[in-house]
Structure 1
Amino acid sequence: MKKTLSILLSFIMLLSIISGLSFSAYADTFSGYNYTVINGNEAEITGYFGSSPTTLEIPTNCNGNTVTSIGEGAFSDRDDIQVVTIPATVTKIEDYAFDHCTGLKSVYINGTSVTIGEGAFYGCTSLVGYGGTGSIASLGLNCFTDCTSLKTITISAATTSIGNAVFAGCTALESISVESGNKYYYATDGVLFFKSGDTSLIAYPEGNTATSFTIPDGVKNIRYGAFSNNKYLKSITIPATVTNIDDGAFNKCTALKDVYYNDTEAKWALVSVGTEENAGLINATMHFKSEPDPDPIVFPDVAEGAWYYEAVQYCAQHKFINGYQDGRFGPNDALQRQDFVVILANIAGADLSGYTSCKLSDVQMSAYYGKAVAWAVDKGIIAGYQNGKFGVGDPITREQVATILYRYMKSPAVSDVDSKLAKFPDKGNISEFAKAPLAWAVENNIISGMQDGTVAPKSTAVRAQIASIIMRMDQNGMFNA
């Protein structure tokens, strides 16, 4: 009897304990959505069983529970959804949430500091971009892998973390930009970099059709998958500041033939280069500097840490661009048209001795630029204005720089001009004569967009910008073609 009573009391106590427990997670449905309640009153969308939709608006709440996340694989492998709007209440999109939604074209994210998980949009082959009023805190590993329709993408100012190979297999991706104010990432020439701590090159777009690229000085790391699958790059210049190249950084770069390292072979031996999935780099022909750099030319207005320092030194030491008589270089000064022609004559090593006249009425042959302009007219590099003048003293514009360089390079064929310029919102401001030259310059990474995404064809080019352009072209062998 005592034993029976003891068992009964124990059972009653167990029931009282169980009744005191609160289960914080349970599954339910709402308007065609499956969801799970988490953390008491938050809902995570786990699937959709409603009628086949093309446009889907995720609800802000399910039966009074605030929707805060899209669950792992919630919409995976659906081909019917084309547009998804995610409300401001959602702060997390879990791994593979929209994996292989092959019909998905647009995603509108409206939450603040949203975390996007691994492979969240993996294989969304129709996706052309995301928008909305929200901000994104992190992009997980492979989150946009194989999004083959993605052409451009903008990283949020709030983004603090980007996983490896986020854009792997995005074969149409031409350019990456970063919103101003981001403390961790930036983009230059459409290429994504990490700037906190050791500067790293994160992603070079697979759809960038340029055949050469110069990694900016100061970059230390080239991350996993950075250049992978790019089928266009034939040559790349690596600065002496690079100390590490990850495995897979140049995976399947089948066109890469020449790698130029801006230091000696002995210094290259000290660079940590991953041997896994890096055949594109390992099989390329390496080119090294055989002699130490000459003593730097001191310009009081060119600080050693300035972004243009290397380019100014390069052009000055090669006698492409000279400083002023007072010793300054004038990096932020507008470059005048005649001075750009003088620079090209210096690069060409042109024999100007035979030029005694010029058909352009404002060109004085006795002036420092006279013979160079006459040479450029003779070679078909410049034609002057419709009024018969050259425009001596006029600041040179970005589209004029592109046009003169294009003619200097003997006007190479350019295909799909309009498509190459389509990404620039101010493309309508480009003069007709400059469209093919600008498309060529953009394709070959000679001129890139401004920080606001425009190409600014009528903006004045400054001397530091010209030095950077000339250095890149010369290092990539374009002036030897």
Structure 2
Amino acid sequence: MKKTLLALLLFSLSSGFVKGQTSQSGYELSDSAGVLELVKWERKDSIVDLTKDEKLKQVKVIGKCCFVFNDYIKTVILPEGLEVINGRAFDTCKNLHRIYLPNSLQVIGQNSFNMCENLRLYSLPRNLKRIEYGAFWDCCRITISKIPNTVTFIGGKAFTLCESIRELALPDSVTEIKERTFAGCKGLRKIKLPDSLRTIEKYAFARCLSLGEISLPASMQRIGVQAFIGCTSLRLVTLPQKVKIENNAFDLCKDVVIQEIQITSDPYSSY
């Protein structure tokens, strides 16, 4: 009996850092099938550097709502080897200014950085594959200019209200711009669309007030309902013949000229 109790005690001590250590360490980890996940963070540090902790630098996943509504963090450094940031991980961290996203990162989850209104972000990791729904919704200070070529999926509302983005190039792996993906990007002046693009869904570029012209690739098939509504600076749209344009796709674009042409070269080749 004593041996059994001792064995249980040793097991609980050896596995303590993996689950339920929040009260002592200020964070909680979970290990599932060898994948270490940061589940909860309760420290009040302004700088969170996971690379300085032997346990934390092995983390592969930032868990759902891990830092949600955290008003203390200002800088976050995530370790190389991290692969996934789950949904709402940094949702409404209003004082978060800087975050280091490692090149190992593959997935930025749903609403991960929703309403991080002071976040400055200039580039995305070069091995990123998925940007889920609402990932950077209302991150009004990010200024990325290129989505990596490895990205195959960009969710709806992923960059809604990202007002500081000025120019953006999308990868050829993207075939669809989903609903409201860039809605309210008031500072967006120029966008390079991929040659593979087939569909622009409804409200995708609604109220992009600075967008002056746009050239749609030969692969385009459909522009959704009010896709460009309220783009008041839009003057020229060039697109291939036989593109289906849904109702009011260019509503409130008073001076826009739509030219149907056969696109044979990339007008943004010097982008």
**Which residue is 1:69 aligned to?**
61
C-alpha contact (below 8 Å) 2:87/2:109 kept by paired residues? yes
Pair 1:34-2:28 in alignment:
yes
What is the DSSP-based 3-state SS (H/G/I as helix, E as strand, rest coil) of the residue aligned with 1:136?
A: coil
Q: Between the two proteins, what is the percent identity of the paired residues?
A: 21
C-alpha contact (below 8 Å) 2:204/2:228 kept by paired residues? yes
The gaps in structure 2 that reach 5 residues or longer are 1-17
Shift of 1:154: 3.6
Counterpart Cα distance in 2 of 1:89 and 1:239: 37
Pair 1:86-2:55 in alignment:
no
TM-superposition CA deviations, 1:212-243 (whole Å, max 9, x none): x8979885322455322312246656677632
- TM-score normalised according to structure 2 size: 0.71
**Which residue is 1:333 aligned to?**
none
**Which residue is 1:172 aligned to?**
164
Mapping 1:165-244, distance limit 5 Å:
165-176=157-168, 187=169, 192=170, 194-196=171-173, 206-209=186-189, 219-233=197-211, 242-244=220-222
TM-superposition CA deviations, 1:156-197 (whole Å, max 9, x none): 343332222211100111122xxxxxxxxxx2xxxx2x5348
C-alpha contact (below 8 Å) 2:217/2:263 kept by paired residues? no
TM-superposition CA deviations, 1:115-134 (whole Å, max 9, x none): 11011011111111166977
TM-superposition CA deviations, 1:282-324 (whole Å, max 9, x none): 34457567xx98xxxxxxxxxx98526xx8xxxxxxxxxxxxx
Structure with bigger helix share is 1
What is the DSSP-based 3-state SS (H/G/I as helix, E as strand, rest coil) of the residue aligned with 1:231?
A: coil
Shift of 1:84: 0.5
Pair 1:151-2:129 in alignment:
no
- State the superposition RMSD in angstroms: 4.1
Counterpart Cα distance in 2 of 1:239 and 1:209: 18
Amino acid at match of 1:83: T
**Against the structure 1 CA distance between its residues 162 and 200, is the aligned structure 2 distance closer, same or farther, given a 3 Å change threshold?**
closer
**Against the structure 1 CA distance between its residues 199 and 54, is the aligned structure 2 distance closer, same or farther, given a 3 Å change threshold?**
closer
Counterpart Cα distance in 2 of 1:219 and 1:90: 30
Counterpart Cα distance in 1 of 2:120 and 2:154: 19
Counterpart Cα distance in 1 of 2:30 and 2:176: 41
**Against the structure 1 CA distance between its residues 208 and 195, is the aligned structure 2 distance closer, same or farther, given a 3 Å change threshold?**
same
What is the DSSP-based 3-state SS (H/G/I as helix, E as strand, rest coil) of the residue aligned with 1:43?
A: strand
**Which residue is 2:265 aligned to?**
307
What is the DSSP-based 3-state SS (H/G/I as helix, E as strand, rest coil) of the residue aligned with 1:172?
A: coil
**Which residue is 1:48 aligned to?**
41
**Against the structure 1 CA distance between its residues 254 and 66, is the aligned structure 2 distance closer, same or farther, given a 3 Å change threshold?**
closer
TM-superposition CA deviations, 1:400-443 (whole Å, max 9, x none): xxxxxxxxxxxxxxxxxxxxxxxxxxxxxxxxxxxxxxxxxxxx
What is the DSSP-based 3-state SS (H/G/I as helix, E as strand, rest coil) of the residue aligned with 1:152?
A: coil
Q: How many residues align?
A: 248
Counterpart Cα distance in 1 of 2:240 and 2:263: 19
C-alpha contact (below 8 Å) 1:126/1:147 kept by paired residues? yes
What is the DSSP-based 3-state SS (H/G/I as helix, E as strand, rest coil) of the residue aligned with 2:129?
A: strand
Shift of 1:79: 2.2
**Which residue is 2:93 aligned to?**
101
Shift of 1:137: 2.2
Pair 1:160-2:137 in alignment:
no
**Which residue is 1:114 aligned to?**
106
Counterpart Cα distance in 1 of 2:110 and 2:173: 22
Higher relative contact order structure (alpha carbons within 8 Å, sequence separation ≥ 6): 2
Structure with greater Cα Rg: 1
- TM-score normalised according to structure 1 size: 0.43
Counterpart Cα distance in 2 of 1:231 and 1:244: 22
**Against the structure 1 CA distance between its residues 26 and 216, is the aligned structure 2 distance closer, same or farther, given a 3 Å change threshold?**
closer
Counterpart Cα distance in 2 of 1:244 and 1:227: 14
C-alpha contact (below 8 Å) 1:109/1:130 kept by paired residues? no
Amino acid at match of 1:47: K
**Against the structure 1 CA distance between its residues 111 and 28, is the aligned structure 2 distance closer, same or farther, given a 3 Å change threshold?**
farther
Counterpart Cα distance in 2 of 1:259 and 1:161: 28
Shift of 1:272: 4.8
Counterpart Cα distance in 2 of 1:88 and 1:135: 12
Amino acid at match of 1:45: L
What is the DSSP-based 3-state SS (H/G/I as helix, E as strand, rest coil) of the residue aligned with 1:282?
A: coil
Counterpart Cα distance in 2 of 1:111 and 1:197: 20
C-alpha contact (below 8 Å) 1:108/1:130 kept by paired residues? no
**Against the structure 1 CA distance between its residues 173 and 257, is the aligned structure 2 distance closer, same or farther, given a 3 Å change threshold?**
closer
**Against the structure 1 CA distance between its residues 82 and 208, is the aligned structure 2 distance closer, same or farther, given a 3 Å change threshold?**
same
Amino acid at match of 1:282: D
Counterpart Cα distance in 2 of 1:47 and 1:218: 40
C-alpha contact (below 8 Å) 1:129/1:152 kept by paired residues? yes
C-alpha contact (below 8 Å) 1:54/1:82 kept by paired residues? yes
